Amino acid sequence: VMLSNDAERFGVDGLLMVTPYYNKASQDGLIESYSYIEKRVSTPIILYNVPSRTGVNIKPETYLELSKLPLINSAKEASGDISHLAQCMALCGDELNFYSGNDDQITAFTALGAKGVISVLSHILPKETSEICHNYLNGNTQKALEKQLKYLPLIDALFCEVNPIPVKAACAAMGWCENYLRLPLTPMEADHEATLLSLMRKAG
């Protein structure tokens, strides 16, 4: 809560809140935890479900309960499970805005009703990432699919080591920052970086 309140004082538009990790919460624990925070902030909340990192998965029924809280209006769904998303969408309907948390699943998610993506690829190809979403949402599905498939090798390279190691290397190569990482993260392995930079050059 303290970090969220600090962020609010700096004027953020929203709060992206990952599920509790290490102390793996039950579904009731998730509801209680998010409810506690929601009562103590004044900024819209995006739930962040990424069980590969946290060991906790938000179930569809839990999403539905959390959607009843006034400040919770969105979810970054990064379970990678399309069937799970379908169940969540079917249960929650318009009560919660879902976004893909995986760049390789943008079109698959939007096909099920997701509103877009909270993206890593967009750090280096913002226009192209936006075009994938907008093309699909505006009915130009073929164009969206072509771009989705075109950039799959680059997306894979951006996740060949744990995020954000590759995207930090990519941004540094583009001159936007230094390739400095706090431990336990370390700079990208040389062969992985060479592949990433090659694919970035290919993408222009």
Tell me which of 24, 59, 63, 76 is the catalytic residue.
76
- Tell me which of 48, 63, 99, 136 is the catalytic residue: 48
3-state DSSP assignment of residue 23: coil
Enter the DSSP assignment of 74: E
Least Cα distance to 117 among 125, 108, 106, 127 occurs for 106
CA 178 to chain CA centroid, Å, is 23
The residue ranges of DSSP E strands in the chain, in sequence order, are 15-18, 45-49, 72-77, 97-100, 116-117
Distance between start and end Cα atoms, the chain: 42
Is 48 marked active-site? Answer: yes
The three-class DSSP label of residue 181 is coil
Q: Cα dihedral sign for 55, 61, 64, 66? A: negative
Tokens of 171: 């941004």
- Looking at residue 13, what DSSP letter applies? S
* Residues recognised as catalytic: 48, 76
